[in-house]
Structure 1
Amino acid sequence: MAEIVKIDPKVAKYGTGRRKEAVARVWIFPGEGKIYVRSSSGKEWEAPVYFEREILMERINRPFAVTETLGKFDVYATVKGSGKPAQAEAVMYGIAKALLQYNPDFRPVLKSAGLLTRDARVKERKKYAQMGARAKYRWSKR
């Protein structure tokens, strides 16, 4: 799909999602339920082919399932950083925020499903004089 997508701010609603190192910028439009994703490496919008695994697609569609709006919105998302599972969760958080912008009455439903709370767990940094974040080099007395 090599078409240029014009995002009209009057119709589209925007949300930013983050998870680990992944950042997703998400726009939703009233539509047929199609999800287009563009990664930082690709220049074209990819239909659901980008997230091949079914569990990732279920995770992305969770905000729609919770608010009973499945198949009513088209999603355009740009993702960068981290791996595909974290990117999928970032898109999920972005969709939840955009749905909240579309209809503020969705807040209690999304909140009770845990979709408005960012998962703040990130990789722990490597420490100096150690092999990794926690693993130490083997100690020998002599």
Structure 2
Amino acid sequence: MTVQYFEGIGRRKESSARVRVMSGSGVFTVNDKTVEEYFTRMGDIESILGPMVAAGMDRATCDITVKVMGGGVTGQTDSVKLGLARALLKMNPELSSAMRKGGFLTRDPRIKERKKPGLKRARKAPTYTKR
């Protein structure tokens, strides 16, 4: 038995997430854990579910499975949010204007700046000593 699903890929900083949305009973798993176990910071789950709120969908109507890798907590949160928005857009193309208005379809292009020679980090200079 094959299950019809819609997939979206989201990326942010060094993390990438593959999000699959299918009809079901509201199960949300991230890397084989529940979303509450994986994202423990306050506000992360509400941020991730932002595209569903903008689409006017209820969390209990569909199952969501996520495979996320790389990066830190903030990058993973934002990559899952972008992947979910792209998957919902594939599911229902009429949601494009609502997703755009909420800013859920725009990838955040900011990445870590490279280290420059003679500096400790990208911009931090060594401490100046007079003697």
Q: Same fold (TM over 0.5)?
A: yes
- The reply on whether 1:136 has 2:125 as its aligned counterpart is yes
- The reply on whether 1:85 has 2:98 as its aligned counterpart is no
Deviations 1:62-89 (A, max 9, x none): 0001101122221101111111121011
SS at match of 2:68: strand
Deviations 1:103-140 (A, max 9, x none): 00000000010001001111111111101000111345
Report the equivalent of 1:23.
16
TM-score, scaled relative to structure 2: 0.91
- Structure 1: 5+ residue runs without aligned partners? 1-5, 39-44
**Superposition deviation, residue 53 in structure 1:** 2.2
Distance in 2 (CA, whole Å) between partners of 1:70 and 1:90 is: 21
Aligned length: 129
- The reply on whether 1:69 has 2:62 as its aligned counterpart is no
Distance in 2 (CA, whole Å) between partners of 1:123 and 1:56 is: 22
| Larger proportion of helix | 2
Aligned partner letter, 1:11: Q
Aligned partner letter, 1:55: G
- The reply on whether 1:60 has 2:53 as its aligned counterpart is no
Report the equivalent of 1:47.
34
- Structure 2: 5+ residue runs without aligned partners? none
Distance in 2 (CA, whole Å) between partners of 1:61 and 1:90 is: 12
**Superposition deviation, residue 33 in structure 1:** 2.5
Distance in 2 (CA, whole Å) between partners of 1:33 and 1:18 is: 24
**Superposition deviation, residue 32 in structure 1:** 2.6
**Superposition deviation, residue 54 in structure 1:** 3.4
- The reply on whether 1:14 has 2:2 as its aligned counterpart is no
- Percent identity of equivalent pairs: 36
Aligned partner letter, 1:51: F
Report the equivalent of 1:116.
105
TM-score, scaled relative to structure 1: 0.84
